[in-house]
Amino acid sequence: MEADLADRRYDLTNTYNMYCDQKMTLADLMFWPVDEELTIDTSMPEWRLDPVASEAVVDFALDNNPAVRIASLQELNARRELNTARWQVLPSLGVYAGWNTSYYSYEGSVTAPFPDQFRNNSGEYVQLSLSIPIWSRLGKHSAIARKKHALTKASATLDQKRRDVESEVRRAIQDRDGAATAYQQAQRKAEVQQEAYSLNLKKLEQGLISPLEFQTANNNYLKSRADEMNSLFKYLIKQAVVKYYNGVEYVNQ
C-alpha cells in the first residue's frame, strides 16, 4: 500500500506539472495578460442530448457556409461573363444626339450680340449607327468557348463544395450521436465499477481480500471514471461542431 501511494503521488506531481505547462500554453494562445491569473472553470457540464433535424442543419449549412457561398458567387460571376461574351457577337445599334452653338467676332465689323449668335448659330443632330462584328467573330467565339469552360468548372466546383459540406455535416451529426452512445455506456460502466470498488473496500476492511486485489479494483474504478470524462468531453466537442454548422459560433457556445 505504501508503494502504491508513492507511485500515485509521483504521478500526481507529474500530472500537475503538465497541467501548469499546458495552462501557460493556453494563456499564450489567448494573449492573456501576464500579470493576471488565468482561471479555468473545472466544473463538469451537464449532460444533455439536444435533438437536431439533420436535414435542417444540412440546409442551413449549404445556405450559409462560407466555402459554398464563395463557390456560388464564383459560378454567378462566370455565368455573367459568358452572357457578356455572347452579347459581344451580336450586332450593336447605337443612337446619338447632340446640340451645339458658336460665337464669332470679326475685327473692324459689327458683331452680332452674343444672345443672337447663341440662338442663330445653334445646331442639332441625331445619329444612328449599326455595328456588325465580322472580322473579330473568330476571337469572340473563342472567348465564348473559354467562358463556357470557366462556367462548367465553376459549376463543378460549386457542386463539389456542396457535397463536401453536406458530407461533413452528416458525418458530424453521426459522430455526435455515436459519442453520445459511447458516453452513456462509459457512464454505466463507471457506475458498475464504483459499486465494485465500494464492495472491495468493505472486503479489504474485513481482511477478505489482499491489498493487491483491492489495488486492481481501485485501478479499474479510476480508469472507468477517466473513460467517462473522456467520453463526455468528446461528445461536447462533437456537439459544438454540430451547433457551429447550425449557425451557433464557437465563441457563443
Tell me 206's DSSP state. T
Per the domain annotation, does 95 fall within a domain?
A: yes
**Domain span including residue 108:** 91-132
Could you tell me if residue 7 is inside a domain? Answer: no
Report pLDDT digits (tens) over 116-161. Answer: 888 888 888 898 888 777 776 677 778 888 999 999 999 999 999 9
Domain-located, residue 104: yes
What are the counts of helices (DSSP H) followed by strands (DSSP E) for the chain?
6, 2
177: Cβ contacts below 8 Å, ≥ 6 apart: none
Residue 126 has a CB neighbour count (10 Å cut-off) of 8
Dig out the grid coordinates for 1 from the structure. Answer: 500500500
Residue 137: what pLDDT? Answer: 66
Question: Cell digits for 178?
Answer: 455515436
Q: What are the tens digits of pLDDT across the range 218-253?
A: 999 999 999 999 999 999 999 999 999 988 887 787
Please, is 225 exposed, middle or buried when counting C-beta atoms within 10 Å of its C-beta (0-12, 13-18, 19+)? Answer: middle
In a domain? residue 188: no
User: How far is 217 from 228, CA to CA, in rounded Å?
Assistant: 17
**Which range among 38-52, 165-179, 238-252 shows the weakest confidence by mean pLDDT?**
38-52
Flag whether 98 is in a domain: yes
pLDDT: is 156 or 92 the higher one? 156
pLDDT above 80 for 46: no
In a domain, 105, yes or no: yes
Beta bridge partners of 219: none
For 189-212, what is the mean pLDDT?
Answer: 92
Q: Into how many domains does the chain fold?
A: 1
> For the ranges 93-107, 177-191, 200-214, 226-240, which has the lowest average pLDDT?
93-107
Given a cut of 80, whether residue 54 has pLDDT beyond it is: yes
